[in-house]
Structure 1
Amino acid sequence: MRYSFLLLLFGVSFASLAQPAREVRYMTRYAHPQISNYSASFGVGLNAFNGTVSSIGNLDEQNHFLSPMLSLGLGYKASHYIDVLFRASYLRQKSETARGDLPIPGFRSNLLEGVFAIKHSLFPQRDYDEYLRRWNYYGLLGVGVAYFDPVHLSTETSLLADRDASQLALVVPVGLGVDFRLSNFFSMGAEVAYRFTSSDQLDGVDNTTYANSRGSDSYATLGFFVNYRIPRSRFHYREFLRLKDSSK
């Protein structure tokens, strides 16, 4: 009888261990309590230009890529793996040129950018827990608009004033980044992104007029961000459990 009871107990334990862990659906909203769905961020960084006047490979012409970038952002956590972001950024672009066939020695521009983007974790975990997970590696894809005002590097005159050229361009950023959680509400991270645009006028020079055209202008950014999770005004755990059960 004693051995039968031990065998039965062993069988129950083995059966319970053999049960698969409950899968968390991709967009499950109530898999675990979230500190907040909303966040704010501030970033500083550098940018490098790629167009007719200069390319990303020309370090000397672009002051060794020390052109600054400032960024402010708001985020919404749509699921455990997905954040929806809006970022407004200011970029200072400046470049000389070594090309002898261009009518200008270089350009300087203030670029304002507004972007909506999706930030997706690269290594989503079934049992993701924002309280325990320190590192988050992610990919970024977005779309937005940029305003630019290129001027002559020497005379400070507008390079677009004498022709009918738009100062707006569609921007598509593609990037990779990593966040490190400092506390329940603060994290910091680094992000590198390449921004494709719909314009060839960011440097004030029409690419189609000159040889060695690179098509539409583009630029790369390297940013360092501090993120703050905006805490909820209140959180009712019983209500969370009710919503979690109803979402299964």
Structure 2
Amino acid sequence: MNYSTLKKTVALSVASVLAVGMVKAQTSTTTTSTTDSTMKTSETTNAKVFGGRGQYKTFSIGINGGVTAPVNATGGSNDYTNWKASYGYGASLRWQLAHSFGIQGDFNGGRLKGNNQDAVGGFRDDRRSFQTDFYSGTISGVVNVATIDYLRRKNAINFFVKAGAGLVWYNPTYVTANGNSYAFQNSDGSNHYVKSLVIPVGVGVKFRLSDAWALNLGYTENFTDDDWLDALQRGYPTKDKYSYGYAGLEWTIGSKSKPNLDWVNPVAMMYDELYDAALRQEVEALKGRVTNVENAVNDLKKDSDGDGVSDQFDKCPNTPAGTVVDGAGCPLKKDTVQVGGAATPAAYTNIQFDFDSSVLRTSSYPTLDAVSSDLRANTSKVVTLKGYASSEGTAAHNMRLSKDRANSVKTYLVNSGVEARRLKVKAYGETHPIADNSTEEGRVQNRRVEFQQ
């Protein structure tokens, strides 16, 4: 068999593999049933996205047999004019690390043959023919190509490429031009097996027979690190090579309850996890919890009497509109005076603030308006605005907060017509409390601005 015949054989083999694959793919669709208006398949599993390799079967063993040749389909030099197909066999152990990648150990054996039949006289370089028996052990990385399928839940076919390194042991014999047969001798005169580095590079296709069994068809080119594989160093410094085309069965080891990682389709897994009934129940429960939180927040913000204190903390509910209240929502009766028979907010009473806030309450506006009116009527009067805070938080934070509160009062009065130069701002932070900071009632009273005339 010559080189052109080899290329025709390989091309025909590839075409046959693709044809078988197309038929297999068309007949491997799964039956589905409808549950909760969601298309579910009979092949769904308990495996979860990002669940780790522990939920899959990952170890496989295989056996194979096929045809060897002392040439490669990709070309290269050959020490003999003709080659003969011979036999090869092998076994493999693979660990699948991901759905698209695994590590595989291979043991192979076989025989290689070639001759100089087309040479003048039937020989060349004093060689008529050779025959070499070999064994090899290699470790390779195996990459599954195009493993994600958007048309079917599981692939029926996996294409793969692999490459690795290892050792080959071989024992060549040859026939000279005069017809004598010899065994190749090492440099020390021995006839023991020769050892050499070998680099296997291969392609193949795998057909899923079941979740545990697969049929493999492949072709591997092997590149050695010496030129004695055919008992002739004719093209130095070229290296010898050989190929192995094979068919084999592979069995994935593990519990039937676990899926085979080699056939996992991530798209199908994500679909199943998205429409998992338990997950949907958890989502609905989460929506309910969010609604409860939103309702609780709305209850905290509710202020039925509009006095600026939420119902949650209002100890004097239903106060009349416009009533000046303290931080607990109770009227500040001492801060009113009688004007024309009606209760009117008195000037220069303390201005209260909410927790960690320097924003003026609307309930403080009547008191501030009274202060503004008095200052505009008495243009020589100067007032110091003294800001305070309760004891929550750090001292530095409370000092800044008390200053912001005093400035809020100043800004209001300036905007109402009081000259800024007549308003002095001082911050005291959490010092000089007027009530006990260990109780909420006391802390409410301490969040204030005082007027000093």
What TM-score do you get using the length of structure 1 for normalisation? 0.70
What secondary structure, in the 3-state scheme, does the structure 1 residue paired with 2:134 have?
A: strand
Q: Which residue of the other structure, out of 32, 36, 52, is the alignment partner of 1:30?
A: 52
Query: Matched residues in 1 for 2:149 and 2:98: separation?
Result: 12
Deviation sequence 1:42-76 (CA, Å, 0-9, x none): 0011111136532xxx5xx333x2x0010011111
- CA separation of 1:117/1:182 partners in 2, compared to 1, >3 Å: closer, same or farther? same
Higher relative contact order, chain-length normalized (CA < 8 Å, sep 6+)? 1
In structure 2, the residue matched to 1:113 is: 136
In structure 1, the residue matched to 2:369 is: none
- CA separation of 1:53/1:183 partners in 2, compared to 1, >3 Å: closer, same or farther? same
In structure 1, the residue matched to 2:19 is: none
- Is 1:122 equivalent to 2:145 in the alignment? yes
Q: Which residue of the other structure, out of 98, 119, 122, is the alignment partner of 1:79?
A: 98
Q: Which residue of the other structure, out of 59, 62, 70, is the alignment partner of 1:49?
A: 70
- Is 1:133 equivalent to 2:176 in the alignment? no
Structure with greater helix percent: 2
In structure 2, the residue matched to 1:220 is: 243
> Would you say the 8 A contact 1:53–1:96 is kept in 2?
no
Deviation sequence 1:124-177 (CA, Å, 0-9, x none): 3288x9x82211011111111100110124544212246679811111111111
> Would you say the 8 A contact 2:186–2:194 is kept in 1?
no
In structure 2, the residue matched to 1:146 is: 168
Q: Which residue of the other structure, out of 252, 258, 264, is the alignment partner of 1:229?
A: 252
Deviation of 1:104 after TM superposition, in Å, equals: 2.0
> Would you say the 8 A contact 2:147–2:155 is kept in 1?
no
What secondary structure, in the 3-state scheme, does the structure 1 residue paired with 2:83 have?
A: helix
Name the count of aligned residue pairs.
198
Structure with greater strand percent: 1
> Would you say the 8 A contact 1:187–1:227 is kept in 2?
yes
Quick check: 146-155 or 77-86, which moved more? 146-155
Task: Look up the equivalent residue of 1:207 and give its one-letter code.
Answer: R
- Is 1:157 equivalent to 2:177 in the alignment? no
Query: Matched residues in 2 for 1:142 and 1:111: separation?
Result: 18
How do residues 10-29 of structure 1 correspond to structure 2 at under 5 angstroms? none
Query: Matched residues in 1 for 2:70 and 2:135: separation?
Result: 14
Quick check: 72-81 or 93-102, which moved more? 93-102
Task: Look up the equivalent residue of 2:224 and give its one-letter code.
Answer: T
Query: Matched residues in 2 for 1:171 and 1:109: separation?
Result: 15
- Is 1:180 equivalent to 2:199 in the alignment? no
- CA separation of 1:141/1:95 partners in 2, compared to 1, >3 Å: closer, same or farther? same
What secondary structure, in the 3-state scheme, does the structure 1 residue paired with 2:98 have?
A: coil
- Please identify runs of 4+ aligned residues in structure 1 that moved more than 4 A: 161-166
Deviation sequence 1:206-236 (CA, Å, 0-9, x none): 135xxxx57100011111121000124986x
What secondary structure, in the 3-state scheme, does the structure 1 residue paired with 2:229 have?
A: coil
- CA separation of 1:52/1:180 partners in 2, compared to 1, >3 Å: closer, same or farther? closer
> Would you say the 8 A contact 1:52–1:214 is kept in 2?
no
Q: Which residue of the other structure, out of 197, 221, 224, is the alignment partner of 1:194?
A: 221
Task: Look up the equivalent residue of 1:149 and give its one-letter code.
Answer: N
Query: Matched residues in 2 for 1:112 and 1:148: separation?
Result: 6
Structure 2: tracts of 5 or more residues without a match: 1-47, 72-76, 259-453
Deviation sequence 1:160-197 (CA, Å, 0-9, x none): 24667981111111111100100111000211121111
Structure 1: tracts of 5 or more residues without a match: 1-23, 236-248
What TM-score do you get using the length of structure 2 for normalisation? 0.40
Query: Matched residues in 2 for 1:72 and 1:31: separation?
Result: 24
In structure 1, the residue matched to 2:353 is: none
Deviation of 1:29 after TM superposition, in Å, equals: 6.4
Query: Matched residues in 2 for 1:145 and 1:162: separation?
Result: 19
In structure 2, the residue matched to 1:19 is: none
- CA separation of 1:178/1:195 partners in 2, compared to 1, >3 Å: closer, same or farther? same
> Would you say the 8 A contact 1:52–1:205 is kept in 2?
no
Larger radius of gyration: 2
In structure 2, the residue matched to 1:6 is: none
In structure 2, the residue matched to 1:68 is: 87
What secondary structure, in the 3-state scheme, does the structure 2 residue paired with 1:125 have?
A: coil
- Amino-acid identity (%): 17
What secondary structure, in the 3-state scheme, does the structure 2 residue paired with 1:107 have?
A: strand
Query: Matched residues in 1 for 2:93 and 2:79: separation?
Result: 34
- CA separation of 1:162/1:118 partners in 2, compared to 1, >3 Å: closer, same or farther? closer
